[in-house]
Amino acid sequence: MKTEQAINEFLDSRISNPNLSDLTVPWYQPKLQRFARVCPKLPKDRKPIETFLATINSSPATNLNYFNALRAFFRFISDRHDIRNPMARMHAPHSKKKGRRATLEPAEEMRLLESVPESNLRDRAILTLFVDSGIRSSELAGLRPQDIGMETIYVSGKTGDREVPISEETRKLLFLTIARHGKSDYVFYGHKGPLTRNGIYRIVSAYMRKAGIQRPKVGPHRVRHAFGKGYLVNGGDLRSLQLLMGHANISTTQVYADLAIHDIIAKHHQFTPLRAAHAAAQESFLDRVKAVEEAEAILKESTDEPEGISGN
């Protein structure tokens, strides 16, 4: 089987999957096409694949991206055509742990919300929804009026459809936005029709700059990271956060626990039971001191001579 033909089958399957991002095919395509130029015929064993991966010779992250693209491709082809998967026993190359994700502090989130003029209802609704729910920009772009419930919204993301809770303030802003533009297909519109992911990115990035929020990263995904961190800091748990954010694996959600560690440390210093134990011990010590002082005073009174009695 020709590699190019197999790649086309794989990419067509990605295009037809409504749950995948618009960026999925552009991410796979150049990597797989480069592989096809080196291996025009689909290999049946791992050696040609290992030889190709050795020629990438780039950063650990890029090497891992090529490996993951090929692994997904061969898994699909082996399942569809019932053939042996040559990558079944191959191990992913080592990749350094990613640095800490850029996020926002609560004060920055407040500045971001306050940067939107009162008159711009649509943008207020966009930013409020991001801060309140942590949904992806593609999920916000695809939001329809019928997706808004009494306390939740229904979104379609990478891992399928899910229900996400929202606050009453957010719900009111969404319906006010719909009422203002008077259209029924989508919640958010721009000058040329429904807002796209790129349009939403430009809107959020502009308000971030206006609020004085600087790089390394600006845009909706930074607000999403802030939601994940803030949810855990404020007492949420990993499992419910995984469901809220639509992560396929809990390991993805675990990153937010790492992000929140400094806030968790500060809370620990404030609420550790050891502090309460020390406070109780201090109170007990003071009580004992007071009791001794009272006892000494009583003893002194009992040894003093009563007034009006002579020493004769």
Domain ranges of the chain: 3-81, 106-259, 271-298
- What percent of the chain is predicted at pLDDT more than 90? 52
Kindly report the number of other CB atoms within 10 A of residue 102's CB atom. Answer: 17
Q: What's the mean pLDDT in 148-156?
A: 94
Q: What is the pLDDT of residue 204?
A: 94
The answer to whether 90 and 43 are in contact (CB under 8 A) is no
Return the minimum-mean-pLDDT range out of 4-8, 155-159, 195-199. Answer: 155-159
Q: Using alpha carbons, select from 89, 84, 134, 114 the residue that is nearest to residue 234.
A: 134
Instruction: Just list the catalytic residues.
Output: 136, 158, 221, 224, 247, 256
Judge whether residue 299 has pLDDT over 50: yes
Question: Measured between alpha carbons, how far is residue 156 from residues 5, 20, 26, 262 in Å?
Answer: 30, 9, 20, 33
Q: Helix (H, G, I), strand (E, B), or coil: what is residue 162?
A: strand
Class of 106-259 in CATH: mainly alpha
In the chain the beta strands, taken as DSSP E runs, fall at: 152-157, 160-165, 189-190, 193-194
How do residues 227-276 score in pLDDT, each as one tens digit?
A: 998 898 888 888 999 999 998 888 888 888 877 766 667 666 766 677 66
Give the DSSP letter of residue 164.
E
- Crossing angle of helices 261-271 and 273-303, in 10° steps, is 20
Q: What is the pTM of this model?
A: 0.61
Judge whether residue 304 has pLDDT over 70: no
How do residues 15-34 score in pLDDT, each as one tens digit?
A: 887 666 667 888 899 999 99
Q: Using alpha carbons, select from 176, 289, 166, 142 the residue that is nearest to residue 227.
A: 166
